[in-house]
Amino acid sequence: MDFNIPASELRWRFGPSGGPGGQHANRSSTRAELTFDVEKSRAFDDAVGERIVAKIGPEVRITEDGSRSQATNRKRAVARLQAILAEASKPDPPPRRRTRPSRAARMRRLDAKAARGATKQHRRKPIPDE
């Protein structure tokens, strides 16, 4: 499920990516940090918004620095936000109802166990009579 999130609700911060890379990594602000306030957003209705807040909290913070390009990192961060929100907006599956094996199923299981035991019993060497 894709949400139509207004760009005004996304807060961005940029900084240099960590790790090796020489002058480009030290001087370029390619790391993108996206902050999205779920509680204040108007992108979803009340029920979906409450479900998302219950699962992931009132605020989502995503940091992306996999690319040397700030634009690419921004796109990846938005894609990750969409994926997180889509997963969190799914309703929970209904709780499992405990069931018991039927009487016939229990009898089949016991009969199979007895047959297997008899098979193994026939494989043994006979006990000499005294």
Does a structural domain hold residue 114? no
Return the percentage of the chain with pLDDT > 90, whole number: 53
Q: What is the CATH number of the domain that holds 31?
A: 3.30.160.20
Does a structural domain hold residue 11? yes
130, pLDDT greater than 70: no
60, pLDDT greater than 90: yes
How far, CA to CA in Å, does 45 sit from each of 30, 84, 109?
34, 17, 51
Does a structural domain hold residue 100? no
Question: Tens digit of pLDDT for each residue in 15-52?
Answer: 888 777 677 767 788 899 999 998 888 888 888 888 99
Categorize the per-residue pLDDT at 66 as very low, low, confident or very high, splitting at 50, 70 and 90: confident
β pairing state of 31-37 and 10-15 = antiparallel
Domain count, the chain: 1
Q: Which domain holds residue 26?
A: 7-89
Does a structural domain hold residue 109? no
Does a structural domain hold residue 85? yes
Does a structural domain hold residue 95? no
Does a structural domain hold residue 113? no
How far, CA to CA in Å, does 111 sit from each of 103, 105, 115?
12, 10, 6
Query: Rounded mean pLDDT of 111-121?
Result: 96
Average pLDDT over the chain, rounded to an integer: 89
The pair of three-digit structure tokens given for residue 44, joined into one six-digit string? 């979803």
Does a structural domain hold residue 32? yes
Query: Rounded mean pLDDT of 57-78?
Result: 91
Q: Which of 41-50, 83-92, 105-114 has the highest mean pLDDT?
A: 105-114
